[in-house]
Amino acid sequence: MRTEFSLEQLADPDIAEIDSILRKCVHCGFCTATCPTYRLTGDELDGPRGRIYLMKEMFEADRPADDVARDHLDRCLGCLSCMTTCPSGVDYGRLVEHGKAHVEATAPRALPDRLMRSLLALMLPGRGRFRLAMTLGRLAAPVLRRLPGRLGAMGWLVPAAPAGTMAIRPGTEHGVAGASKGRVALLIGCIQPVLRPSVDAAAVRLLNRHGIEVVVPEAGCCGALPLHMGKVERARATAARLVDALAPGLDGLDAVVVTVSGCGTTVKDYGHLLKDDPVRAAPAARIAALARDVSEVLDGVALQVGDTVKGRAVAYHDACSLRHGQRVTAPKRLLAKAGFTVREPVNPHLCCGSAGTYNMLQPELSAALGKDKAAALAATGAEMIVAGNIGCLTQIAAQGDTPVVHTVELLDWATGGPMPPALQVS
pLDDT score of 194: 87
For residue 342, pLDDT over 90 is answered with yes
Residues 213, 181 contacting (CB under 8 angstroms): no
Kindly indicate whether the domain formed by 7-106 is annotated with CATH number 1.10.10.350.
no
Domain boundaries, the chain: 7-106
pLDDT score of 164: 65
pLDDT score of 200: 94
pLDDT score of 55: 97
Task: Annotate 335-384 with DSSP letters as a single string.
Answer: HHHTT-EEE--SSTTS--S-TTTHHHHSHHHHHHHHHHHHHHHHTTT-SE
Residues 372, 316 contacting (CB under 8 angstroms): no
Among 330, 209, 249, smallest CA distance to 201 is for 209
For residue 426, pLDDT over 60 is answered with no
Q: Report which listed range, 52-56, 161-165, 220-224, is most confident.
A: 52-56
Alpha-carbon distance of 79 to 319, in angstroms, equals 9
Dump pLDDT digits (tens) for 98-156: 999 999 999 989 998 999 898 888 888 888 888 888 888 778 878 888 887 887 877 77
CA distances from 116 to 124, 202, 228, 290, 361 (A): 12, 34, 14, 35, 8
Q: Band of the pLDDT at 163, cuts 50, 70, 90?
A: low
Among 236, 224, 169, 227, smallest CA distance to 201 is for 169
| Mean pLDDT along residues 332-347 | 94
Residues 279, 349 contacting (CB under 8 angstroms): no
pLDDT score of 125: 82
Provide the whole-model pTM: 0.91
Q: Which amino acid is at 325?
A: G
pLDDT score of 322: 94
For residue 183, pLDDT over 90 is answered with yes
8 burial type by CB count under 10 A (0-12 exposed, 13-18 middle, 19+ buried)? exposed
Alpha-carbon distance of 230 to 129, in angstroms, equals 21
Q: Output the average pLDDT for the chain.
A: 92
